[in-house]
A and B are shown apart, each in its own frame.
Chain A
Amino acid sequence: MTHKGRYGTEPFEKVTIEEFSLNGLESASHAAFLQYKVLLIPEVVRANISFPQKKLKVIVSDPSVATKKILAEIKPVRATLTEKGSIDYDTLVAQGFHDVKSC
C-alpha cells in the first residue's frame, strides 16, 4: 500500500476497467460461478458477469497479468474485449462510501 487516498492509505492509485462480450455462457448460475472464479484472481479487484447481457466487467489492478488469467479461467467461454479504460481507485471506493466527505 503506497497511495494516499481520500479514505486513507489505499492499495492502488489507478485501476483498469475492462469489458468483454462473452460467447458460450450456459445459464445464470454458470455466469455466477464464472464470476466467482474470476474474483479468485488476485489482480481482479471487482468483477461482474451479466448473463442477460452476456457481458463481463472487471476492474483489475494489473491488466498485463489479469487479462490472460481471466481469459484462461473462463474457458471454454470466449471473451472479446469491447472497452478498456482506467479510473482512480479513489473514485471506485468513493462510490461505496456514498461519497461521504473525506476524513
Chain B
Amino acid sequence: MTKSQKTESKKYGDSLPHTTTSLCPECKRPIEAHVFAKDGIVWMKKTCPEHGEYVEKYWEDVELYERARKYASSPVFQKNPNLESTGANCPYDCGICTRHKSHTALANIVATNRCDLSCWYCFFYAKEGQPVYEPTLEQIRAMAKNLASEKPVPCKAVQITGGEPTMREDLVDMVKIMKEEGIDHVQINTDAINFAFKPELPAALREAGSNTVYMSFDGVSKKSNPKNHWEAPYAIENCRKCGMGIVLVPTMIKGINDHETGDIVNFGLNNLDVIKGINFQPVSLVGRMPQKERDAQRITIPKVIANIEEQTNGVITKDDFFPVPSVAPITDFVEAITGKPQYTLSTHFACGMATYIIKGDDGKLVTLPSFVDVDGLLEYLEEMAEERRGKSKVWTGIKVYRNLGKFIEKDKQPEGFSLNKLLFNALVKHNYHAIGELHRKSMFIGMMHFQDPYNYDVERVERCCIHYAMPDGRIIPFCAFNVLPEIYRDKVQAQYAIPAEEWEKQTGKKILDGKYKRKPAPLEAGDVYKKAYLDIKDNFKL
C-alpha cells in the first residue's frame, strides 16, 4: 500500500463494520445500511420503516474485501460540475454535482432505445407502440462537446450504447462526430448480431475511428448464451478482418452461467488476436425480486474471481486481481512527469477488479502479477511522483528506468515480452502506443459490479466514473441512471422521445421490422461457428 493510499483510505469504505447510505428497494427512500462481516462474507443490512428488513450479500469474501480496501484512492472533484447542486440529497441530485468524487472515465451515450432482440429480462428497450428515444446527431455532438469540456480531466472515452446502437443507420456518423469533438476512444456496446451479417459495418466503424466493440457474450454454450451464441463467432470474424478489437462482456448469474467462467476466459484466449479483454459483470438485480430468488442468482466479484481460479486450474488466481483504484499511483506519477491532470480511476474499491494475462511467444500463459511486484512498483512510483517535484523529467526518467527492473522477475516474464521497456515508454515517454504491445500479447480480465436497489451503496455512487451523458446537459453516474431510471434515464428519455407512430412515419419503417429472427441451423453448419466452439484449445488443461 502506498503512502497516499494509506492517508486517504479512511475517507470512505471504512473498516468493517461500518454504516453507509442505501435505498429501500421498494420505495427508494434513503436508509442507513450496515456493512459487516459474517461467515467470511461481507453483508449489507438495512431496514425501511415501511417495508422492513433487507439483508444482502455485498462481497462474498471478507479477506479480499480487506485487501481491496487498502487501495482506496483520493477523490477527483469536477471543477466545472454540470449542476449547482451540492449533492446533499445524493443519489437524487445527480448531474454531475459538486459532491461527486470521480471524473468521467467512460461516458455512455444512448443512441436508441430500439433493439433487435426482445430479451425477457430486459425492460429497457422500446416495446411495440412505446415511444422511441433517438437523439439527433446535433444532440449527440452537444453531448460529446459537454464531455470533452469537463475539467480538470476532459472525458476522452465514449461508449455508444442502446438499446442496440447498430439499429441506427447513422452510427458511423456518430463515431465521426466523437472523433471531431476530440474523443480519443469510441467503443460500441452491442449484441453484435448486425456485425455478424454486415461485415461492412464494423469495417466502416473502424474506419471512422472506433477501435473497440463491447460485445455481450454470456457463455460458450447455447444454454448460457441464448442472446448471441450463434452469431458471436461471425461477428468476431468480421471484427478480426477489419482490425476492430473486442471486449467480451458476460453478465454473470449464479446457477445460469457461472460454471462457464473459465470457458469464457479460454474462449477469449483462443481469439487473442482480436479479443483484447473480458469484462465480467456480476448480475445487477434490478426490479422487485423476492429474497429466495435473489439468493439463487446473486453473485459478487469475489465469487466470479474464485470461479476463474477454480475453472482455470489455478493459472489465474485471486491474488492476481487488483481493484480499479489501485492504479492511482501510476496516474500520480504520469501527472508529476507531464504536469498535466491525468485520467484517474478514483472509483470505489468495491466496484471492480482486474488483472492481465499474457501469452508468451512459447504459448505459455502468465499473469502480470505473477512476475511483477505490483505493490512494490506502485509504492515506488508514488515515491517518484513526490521526488519528481522540483527535479528534471530527464533525471527522474533515468532513475525510474534504472529501477523498474527491480520489480520484475525476468525469469518468470513471458517469452518475447519486455515489461520494463513497455513501462518506461508508457510512464516516462508518455507514449501510449507502447501499451499496444501489451494488448497484442495479453488479455485484460476485469469485472465491474453495477449496483441494484438491494446492495446499493451511496459511497460507491459518489465515486462512480462510468457515466451517462444526457441531452439535457446533465451527466449521470451509471448506478444512479439505471437504478433510479424513473428520475433519470426513463424520465429524460420520455421527454425527448417521439411516439412510435411518429417515428414510423418519419422513417417509413416499422419498429417490429427491425427485430432479428434467428435461423440457427445454417449458422451452426458454418466453419466459422465450428472453429469457434469445437476446434478450440483448452489453455487450462492440467
Question: Which A residues fall within an 8 A CB radius of B?
Answer: 1, 7-9, 11-12, 28-29, 31-33, 35-36, 39-40, 42, 45, 48-51, 92-98, 100-103
Contacts and interface: CB of A to CB of B under 8 A. Distances in A.
B139 A8 contact: yes
A59 B471 CA distance: 17
B495 A11 contact: yes
Interface stretch (B77-85, B203-211, B318-326, B341-349): B77-85
5 contacts: A8-B142, A36-B487, A45-B495, A95-B82, A95-B473
Given A11-B495, A39-B487, A100 B29 contact: no
A102 B471 CA distance: 13
Contact of B142 (A7, A36, A42, A50): A7
State the majority secondary structure of interface residues on A.
Answer: mixed
A8 B93 CA distance: 24
Given A9-B139, A39-B92, A103-B138, A97 B146 contact: yes
A39 to B, nearest CB: 4
B89 A35 contact: yes
Nearest to A50: B88
B524 interface: no
A28 B145 CA distance: 35
A103 B473 contact: no
B145 A97 contact: yes
Contact of B138 (A7, A28, A101): A7
Contacts of A100: 142, 145-146, 149
B371 to A, nearest CB: 45
B472 interface: yes
A48 B141 CA distance: 29
B474 interface: yes
Contact of A97 (B142, B484, B494): B142
10 A-B pairs with least C-beta separation? A96-B473, A8-B139, A32-B89, A8-B138, A11-B495, A7-B142, A97-B473, A33-B29, A39-B487, A96-B82
A32 B145 contact: no
A50 B139 CA distance: 32
A94 B471 CA distance: 11
A96 B92 contact: no
Contacts of A92: 472-473
Contacts of B491: 39, 42
A25 B475 CA distance: 29
Residue from B473, B494, B496 having most chain A Cβ neighbours under 10 A: B473
A101 B148 CA distance: 12
Contacts of A29: 21, 29-31
A96 B83 contact: yes
A31 B486 contact: no
B498 interface: yes
Interface in B53-96: 80, 82-85, 88-90, 92-93, 95
A7 B85 CA distance: 22
A1 B498 contact: yes
Contacts of B28: 33, 36
A4 B114 CA distance: 24
Given A36-B487, A48-B85, A101-B145, A7 B92 contact: no
B93 A48 contact: yes
A65 B205 CA distance: 46
A17 B97 CA distance: 20
Interface in B479-523: 484, 486-487, 491, 494-496, 498
Residue from B27, B88, B89 having most chain A Cβ neighbours under 10 A: B89
B397 to A, nearest CB: 36
A102 to B, nearest CB: 8
Contacts of A9: 136, 138-139
A93 to B, nearest CB: 5
Given A36-B487, A93-B473, A98-B149, A31 B89 contact: yes
Nearest to A11: B495
A33 B494 CA distance: 22
Residue from A48, A98, A103 having most chain B Cβ neighbours under 10 A: A103
B135 interface: yes
Contacts of A49: 89
Nearest to A51: B88
A97 B83 CA distance: 10
Given A7-B473, A39-B491, A96-B82, A103 B30 contact: no
Given A33-B30, A36-B487, A7 B498 contact: no
Residue from A1, A42, A50, A100 having most chain B Cβ neighbours under 10 A: A100
Contact of A96 (B31, B474, B484): B474
A45 B29 CA distance: 20
A36 B491 CA distance: 12
Interface string B4-32: 00000000000000000100000111110
A28 B29 CA distance: 12
Contacts of B495: 1, 11-12, 45
A32 B31 CA distance: 10
Nearest to B494: A42
Given A8-B471, A93-B472, A96-B82, A36 B145 contact: no
A36 B29 contact: yes
A12 B494 CA distance: 12
Contacts of B84: 95
Contact of A32 (B30, B82, B141): B30
Contact of B145 (A11, A95, A103): A103
A39 B31 CA distance: 18
Nearest to B139: A8
